[in-house]
Amino acid sequence: MKDSEKFFCGIDIGSRTGKITIIDNGKNIVFSEIIKTVASATKTYAALTEMIPENFRKRISASAVTGYGRESTASMCDFSATEITCHYMGVLRLHPETKTIIDIGGQDSKVITIDNNSRIKDFAMNDRCAAGTGRFLEVMMERIGFSIDDFAELDVSEVEPVKINSTCTVFAESEVISMVSRDVPQNVIASSLARMVAANTFFMARKTHPEQPFFMSGGVSKLKPVRFHLEKFFGSSIKTDEFSQFMGALGAALFAMKETEAK
DSSP structure string for 113-177: EE-TTSSEEEEEEE-S--TTSHHHHHHHHHHHT--HHHHHT---TT--PPP----SHHHHHHHHH
pLDDT of residue 232: 97
254 vs 175, higher pLDDT = 254
User: Residue 27 — pLDDT band, cuts 50, 70, 90?
Assistant: very high
In this structure, what is the dihedral angle of CA atoms 32, 238, 221, 21, given to the nearest 10 degrees?
A: 10
The verdict on 47 and 130 lying in the same domain is no
Residues forming a β-bridge with 104 = 109
Per-residue pLDDT tens digits for 104-135: 988 889 999 999 999 999 999 986 666 667 88
User: If you average pLDDT over every residue of the chain, what do you get?
Assistant: 92
Residues forming a β-bridge with 216 = 102
Helix intervals (H) in 24-97: 41-49, 54-57, 70-73, 83-94
Per the domain annotation, does 2 fall within a domain? Answer: no
Query: How many Å from the N-terminal Cα to the C-terminal Cα in the chain?
Result: 25
Is residue 98 over pLDDT 70? yes
* Angle, alpha carbons 15-247-128 (nearest 5°): 35
Distance CA 64, CA 77 (A): 5
Output the domain CATH number for residue 51. Answer: 3.30.420.40
Is residue 170 over pLDDT 80? no
Of 122, 104, 114, 259, nearest in space to 194 by CA: 104
Total structural domains within the chain: 2
The verdict on 52 and 27 lying in the same domain is yes
pLDDT of residue 1: 55
The verdict on 104 and 50 lying in the same domain is no
The verdict on 104 and 91 lying in the same domain is no
99 close to 205: Cβ distance less than 8 angstroms = no
pTM of this structure? 0.92
The verdict on 73 and 194 lying in the same domain is no
Domain span at residue 53 reads 7-95+246-262
Per the domain annotation, does 217 fall within a domain? Answer: yes
The verdict on 66 and 188 lying in the same domain is no
Distance CA 74, CA 90 (A): 19
pLDDT of residue 2: 60
Per the domain annotation, does 1 fall within a domain? Answer: no
Phi, psi of 110 (to 5 degrees): -150, 155
